[in-house]
Amino acid sequence: MSLPQFELLRPRSLVEALDLLGKHSANIRVLAGGTDLIPSMRQKLFEPDYVLDLRGVTELRGIRPQSDGGAEIGALTAIRTIERSDFLGEQYPVLTEAAATVASPVLRNMGTIGGNICLDTRCLWYNQSLTWRKGCGFCIKKDGDLCHVAPGGAKCWAAFSGDTPPALLCLNAEIEIVSPNNARRIPLSEFYTGLGDTYRKLQANELVTRIFLPGNAAGYRGVYRKLRVRGSIDYPLAGVAVVMRRSNGHVADARIGITGVNPAPLLVNGVSDLLAGKAVDESLAHAAGELAARISKPLTTSALTPEYRREMIRVFTKRAVLAAADANRN
Ligand SMILES: Cc1cc2nc3c(=O)[nH]c(=O)nc-3n(C[C@H](O)[C@H](O)[C@H](O)COP(=O)(O)OP(=O)(O)OC[C@H]3O[C@@H](n4cnc5c(N)ncnc54)[C@H](O)[C@@H]3O)c2cc1C
Ligand code: SF4
């Protein structure tokens, strides 16, 4: 499958990148590592006139520990760099665990954390060639007006399938979004819309530039578990991140994030209320699994059945809560 025609823009600074983005925002796509964008362009899911290649904007790379114990991560930092960071592994292990499961080593070298956060949602009826989609009929997410997955409705249910966002949600991460004349900092939890087609709150002239991990989330134990078809290289079809802080053998605080089953990665409500002040055992971990399964709403957007994916959210959550409680770090 060939790439559509486009003009490649290669800025060397953030100021230049924003200027180009502002000038061409009518039909431009941002390329970070390109590991998701380029296959999608080959499938003619995107046919931009311009592609803004951020790889020369070196100021957007790097992990910078902050004086409050937190960290700032440039959006262009490679997933592999995050996976291998001793600082993040020590302070935010849920993030390094999740990063280590993204795709394959080669793709983790190219793919970035910003691209993982901004990743397009996925569906069996969408991530296909133009010929395939023409043959089966277009859908709401691209060029059509019906949904093959939920034919009666007007909503797209394509699933958010990035691995690091549920971990980042558990850490209460924030992101910086910059346009040519504005910069805003928002909790990552407010970035996603919950819709499969217009899945993120990002204007065409905006870039995600930095991710902030708060100091008060450092040191939490962390576990990430995911379901995928090919163990060596695949998107999550269900994914669970758990962070936990313990005190005197009891849970002091805990959070659970899920991915791969809804149009957005989600934090599970009520986790700390359920676990805080208690010692984790099988039945408590099971109850946490029930909470997570209750908010997962997978549909037939992937090769595995919705029932199985939802069940695996329950099972993985239970296992991850037990593993987080067992981790022999204080
Ligand atoms: C075979 C295969 C397997 C994969 N398996 C996984 C997996 O297991 N888990 C997983 O999470 N991902 C997986 N991916 C997807 C991808 O490799 C990763 O999500 C990667 O982190 C994407 O980052 P990137 O820099 O390559 O993004 P790109 O492809 O460059 O961009 C992705 C999207 O984000 C936008 N974007 C990127 N950076 C910014 C920014 N700073 N500001 C605004 N918009 C931006 C782009 O415009 C595009 O819409 C897989 C991909 C392939 C091809
Ligand atoms: S969920 Fe429906 S509208 Fe969305 S991509 Fe799949 S078939 Fe298309």
pLDDT digits (tens, 9 = 90+) for 281-324: 999 999 999 999 999 999 999 999 999 999 999 999 999 999 99
pLDDT recorded at residue 188: 98
Helix (H) or strand (E) holding 282: helix 282-295
The gap between the terminal CA atoms of the chain, to the nearest Å, is 51
pLDDT recorded at residue 222: 95
Q: Which ligand is nearest to the CA of 124?
A: 2
**Token pair listed for 163:** 């691995």
Mean pLDDT over 61-69 rounds to 97
Q: Which ligand is nearest to the CA of 123?
A: 2
45 CB near ligand 2 (under 6 Å): no
- pLDDT at 224 exceeding the cut of 60: yes
Please name the residue whose Cα sits nearest to atom 4 of ligand 2: 156
pLDDT recorded at residue 232: 87
DSSP 8-state secondary structure symbol assigned to residue 126? T
Mean pLDDT over 241-270 rounds to 96
C-alpha 156 – ligand 2 centre gap (Å): 5
120 CB near ligand 1 (under 6 Å): yes
- pLDDT at 330 exceeding the cut of 60: no
130-147 residue pLDDT tens: 999 999 999 999 999 999
197 CB near ligand 1 (under 6 Å): no
- Position 315, amino acid: V
- pLDDT at 329 exceeding the cut of 50: no
User: Dihedral (C-alpha) 193, 212, 295, 153: value to the nearest 10 degrees?
Assistant: 10
Give the number of other Cβ atoms within 10 Å of residue 303's Cβ: 9
| Rg, C-alpha atoms of the chain | 20
pTM assigned to the model: 0.97
121 CB near ligand 2 (under 6 Å): no
- pLDDT at 100 exceeding the cut of 60: yes
User: Environment class of residue 204 by beta-carbon count within 10 Å: exposed (0-12), middle (13-18) or buried (19+)?
Assistant: middle
Q: What is the spatial distance between Cα 53 and Cα 56, in angstroms, rounded to a whole number?
A: 7
How sure is the predictor about 240, in pLDDT bands with cuts at 50, 70 and 90? very high
pLDDT recorded at residue 231: 86
- pLDDT at 328 exceeding the cut of 70: no
- pLDDT at 257 exceeding the cut of 60: yes
Pairing of strands 221-227, 250-259: unpaired
Q: What is the spatial distance between Cα 286 and Cα 275, in angstroms, rounded to a whole number?
A: 11
If one compares 248 and 224, the residue with the highest pLDDT of the two is 224
152-180 residue pLDDT tens: 889 999 999 999 999 999 999 999 999 99
Which of 146, 148, 261 should be mutated for ligand 2, with most atoms under 8 A from CB? 148
Q: Are 14 and 60 in contact (CB under 8 A)?
A: yes
